[in-house]
């Protein structure tokens, strides 16, 4: 089966003055369309670096990153921004909603930027997304008026504004209490049910049963793959 996300021998080095630090070493992985994937590891293990390479926010020092059929590092920065908007939704730990826009305006702005949802359908589409994450009643409020969990659900709705095939989330529940975190995780599961490929990064323990793959990072290297489905030929694979 074809991989929607594929990394081959990816290394990312950061140079600061005389010192070079290798944040990712020879990372290889493949995610199939529709999979629910967790990337786990301690703080500093390279999780965010990995996610930033998948979204094209950052570039590898060597190796290849292919996402949704595109070798994304062949693209210029402006092509990348357009490509990202159409293909990937991104959810951050601290939500990153624009504080001076209402919740629905935040979502409309994401649609405006990518310009694939027809103008006259945007408001309805935004409301549908807000219904899906159960905060449509807050559509016309400013982010500060919402709880953390509600803001994160708004951020998820915004990430889905342009119907991306892939949703990535960097520590999306890191700033939420456990009940709220569970409701955010439920939204991700629902998205997977609908066919979206979801990659979630976390330093917390995960329920491995819930994921198609759990990828463990340690000091910039993948130390373990765990494939959830016993019927999957990759089941039980590790490095």
Both tokens of 94, joined, read 């601290």
Q: 16 or 78: whose CB is closer to ligand ADP?
A: 16
Smallest gap from residue 40 Cβ to ligand ADP (A): 9
Strands 70-71 and 36-40: unpaired
Binding part of the chain for Mg ion, among 5-13, 44-52, 73-81, 132-140 by CB under 5 A, reads: 44-52
Residue closer to Mg ion, measured from CB, 47 or 125: 47
**209 interacts with, out of ligand ADP, Mg ion, none, CB within 5 to 8 A per kind:** none
Q: In this chain, which stretch among 42-50, 150-158, 192-200, 225-233 interacts with Mg ion, using CB under 5 A? A: 42-50
Closest approach, Cβ 39 to ligand ADP, in A, equals: 9
Closer residue to ligand ADP (CB): 28 or 236: 28
For ligand ADP, the binding residues (CB under 6 A) are 14, 16, 21, 23, 41, 43-49
Nearest residue by C-beta to Mg ion? Answer: 48
**Does 48 contact Mg ion by CB under 5 A?**
yes
Considering only 46-54, 75-83, 212-220, 227-235, which stretch makes contact with Mg ion by CB under 5 A? 46-54
Binding partner selected for residue 15 from ligand ADP, Mg ion, none, CB under the kind-specific 5 to 8 Å limit? none
CA 107 distance to own-chain centroid: 17
Task: State which residue, 97 or 200, has the beta carbon closest to Mg ion.
Answer: 200
Q: Name the site residues for Mg ion (rule: CB under 5 A).
A: 47-48
């Amino acid at each position: 089966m074809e991989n929607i996300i594929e990394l081959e021998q990816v290394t990312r080095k950061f140079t600061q003055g005389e010192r070079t630090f290798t944040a990712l070493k020879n990372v290889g992985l493949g995610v199939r369309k529709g999979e629910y994937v967790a990337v786990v590891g301690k703080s500093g293990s390279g999780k965010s670096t990995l996610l930033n390479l998948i979204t094209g926010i950052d570039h590898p020092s060597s190796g290849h990153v292919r996402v949704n059929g595109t070798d994304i590092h062949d693209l210029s920065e402006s092509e990348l921004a357009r490509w990202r908007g159409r293909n990937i939704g991104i959810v951050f730990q601290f939500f990153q909603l624009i504080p001076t826009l209402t919740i629905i305006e935040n979502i409309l702005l994401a649609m405006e930027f990518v310009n694939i949802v027809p103008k006259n359908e945007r408001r309805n589409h935004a409301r549908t997304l807000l219904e899906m994450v159960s905060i449509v009643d807050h559509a016309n409020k400013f982010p500060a008026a919402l709880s953390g969990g509600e803001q994160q659900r708004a951020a998820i709705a915004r990430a889905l504004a342009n119907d991306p095939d892939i949703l990535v989330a960097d520590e999306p529940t890191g700033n939420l209490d456990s009940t709220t975190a569970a409701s955010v995780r439920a939204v991700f599961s629902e998205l997977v049910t609908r066919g979206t490929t979801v990659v979630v990064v976390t330093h917390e323990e995960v329920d491995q049963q819930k994921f198609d793959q759990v990828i463990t990072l340690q000091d910039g290297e993948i130390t373990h793959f765990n494939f959830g489905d016993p019927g999957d030929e990759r089941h039980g694979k590790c490095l």
